[in-house]
Amino acid sequence: MKILVVEDSPTVRHSLKMSLVPANHTVDFAENGEAALVYLGVNSVDLILMDVEMSGMNGFELARLYRHLHGDDWVPIIFLSGNADDEHILEGIKAGGDAYLNKEASPIHLMAQITAMERIAKMRHQLHSSNRKIEMLLQAAPDGIISISERGIIQSINSAMERISGYRSDELMESPFTLLLPESLRGDYQQDFWRYIRGEEVKLLGMTMELEGQRKNGESYPIELSIGEVNEPDTHLFMVILRDITERKQAGEKLEQAQQELLEANVRLEQLTILDGLTGIANRRYFDISMEREFGVAKRENTTLGLIMCDIDLFKTYNDTLGHVAGDECIKQVAEAIQNSVRRPADVAARYGGEEFAIILPRTALSGALAMAKNIQEAIHEKNIPCATAEVDDRVTVSLGVCCINPEGGDTIPDFIKLADKALYQAKENGRNRIEYVSDKRKGDDDEVAASEGLTM
């Protein structure tokens, strides 16, 4: 151990040195109380052997002053005195001594007392080592750690809290903990704290809270807060762990944005797979999918399925005369008119190919399908799209073929489409700008077209 001997007698100092050095102790000396205080102000020791009767400051006075200055670091003190009076011994212990030894005691008695004090010194070193480790862990922690008194006053902070808050330690010490919150929140959290101290039911401990913090520069930032309580007979503190979750929030927002962008991209991708790039209505692929679905439903439920095939009249002449750009615009205008005419959610209007369109009409009788075809024809007429030739009309027109069937066991989709195509071909043959239709014949005849007539503008 490192031992400081405070003794004004050279003879006693020499005697103690002869006893302590052979026992592998490091020994330093101070001749009086003033010299001892100067030494202890810059050096650490494990044990103090202190004479009581000294000139100037006596041992008891020195002990009291030393305990006052270094009370948090308890170094054992053994008083050495020739006075063995009980009250004198008691006064020494009250002054801060840990043992009282008569100067006439044998070296063995002295070494026994020093051995006992050495145990205290070892526990003191272990405690210091543990405290240093705890302090290192607190300072190395990435989260802010604060201790708060029961008055709501900050008692300690770690370096992470300085970094997070922008405050220096000395700026936060002895300040209300609410200094770390925006002004708009300080009153509420201060009230919750006082209510808890008064014993009211307040959700304060044992939970993690997300709220808004405020840095020294006034900047608000998201924090995650958890509070624990240390309630000992001589200590009542609240330990607060504060985590700056700005990066986590930003990462969450970026992830949410990325997910939204992915969702939108998937929607766009899906649209690309089912929508026609020029007109924006359903494409041939979606037509095939929808026809497969609705044909199966009509067959299972024994309901009527309608189909309209629509083709722009004399479109090749239009394209050759006015150019492909004008031709594309014409197709878009016709598609828009068709789409606007189809209002039921289950109905599907699609670009079938080139200047041809198809409209699927689930649960639709022939009269309904013909009415839809008529609406489409009129909508395109009202568009008043300039035509390249007045061979049919003074504006772009369409021919339409309509078919409605109740699918049965042997019916196929290609046969159904062929019937509607046959009606469309008949409309073209009969002068264009017409609606022709076929009805389903279930009498065993070899001709699938049961009726055909034209409707014109």
- For residue 131, name the pLDDT band (cuts at 50, 70, 90): low
pLDDT above 70 covers what percent of the chain?
92
Report the pLDDT value the prediction gives residue 453, as an integer from 0 to 100.
Answer: 42
Report the pLDDT value the prediction gives residue 189, as an integer from 0 to 100.
Answer: 83
Average pLDDT over residues 23-36: 90
> Which tops the pLDDT comparison, 147 or 362?
362
397, pLDDT greater than 90: yes
- Structural domains in the chain, CATH included, are 2-138 (3.40.50.2300), 141-248 (3.30.450.20), 275-456 (3.30.70.270)
Report the pLDDT value the prediction gives residue 272, as an integer from 0 to 100.
Answer: 79
396, pLDDT greater than 80: yes
Token pair listed for 366: 């022939």
CA distance 360 to 342: 10
pLDDT digits (tens, 9 = 90+) for 320-346: 999 999 999 999 999 999 999 998 999
Report angle CA 319, 320, 324 to the nearest 5 degrees. Answer: 45
Report angle CA 28, 32, 33 to the nearest 5 degrees. Answer: 100
CA distance 265 to 275: 15
For the ranges 142-156, 170-184, 365-379, 429-443, the lowest mean pLDDT is seen at 429-443
455, pLDDT greater than 60: no
pLDDT digits (tens, 9 = 90+) for 136-162: 666 667 788 888 888 889 988 888 889
pTM score: 0.49
